[in-house]
Amino acid sequence: MAEAKQYRKKPVVITAMEWDGTAESATPIIDWVLANGGTARFSCSQPDSGPCRPGKPHSIAIDTLEGTMHASPDDYVIRGVAGEFYPCRGDIFEATYEPVEG
């Protein structure tokens, strides 16, 4: 029977943008994804109930190799080492990554 082994994540540098959940701050993130070959769009939480209202959660839909994933308010959108984009919950991001100086 195979034995479980421990592994350490290789140190990599990624690029990411934090999203505060507003439509206004979604625009530069979506522009960044689109400018770098990805696909993303703003998704209103209540598309059939008239214009989006403040205080209602929205999402940024990001097409990934695993299908469409949604970034929620306070999530980070990450551009990975292979140029792929995906969302990451803020608490997971902060536990996994630290700022790079320089």
Residue 49 pLDDT greater than 60, yes or no? no
Residues 7 and 35: their CA atoms lie apart, in Å, by 34
CA distance 10 to 27: 32
Q: Letter for the amino acid at 36?
A: N
Place of tokens 């959660």: 57
Residue 26 vs residues 20, 88, 95: alpha-carbon distances, Å: 8, 15, 23
Banded pLDDT at 27 (limits 50, 70, 90)? very high
CA distance 79 to 92: 15
Tokens of 78: 């990450």
pLDDT at site 93: 95
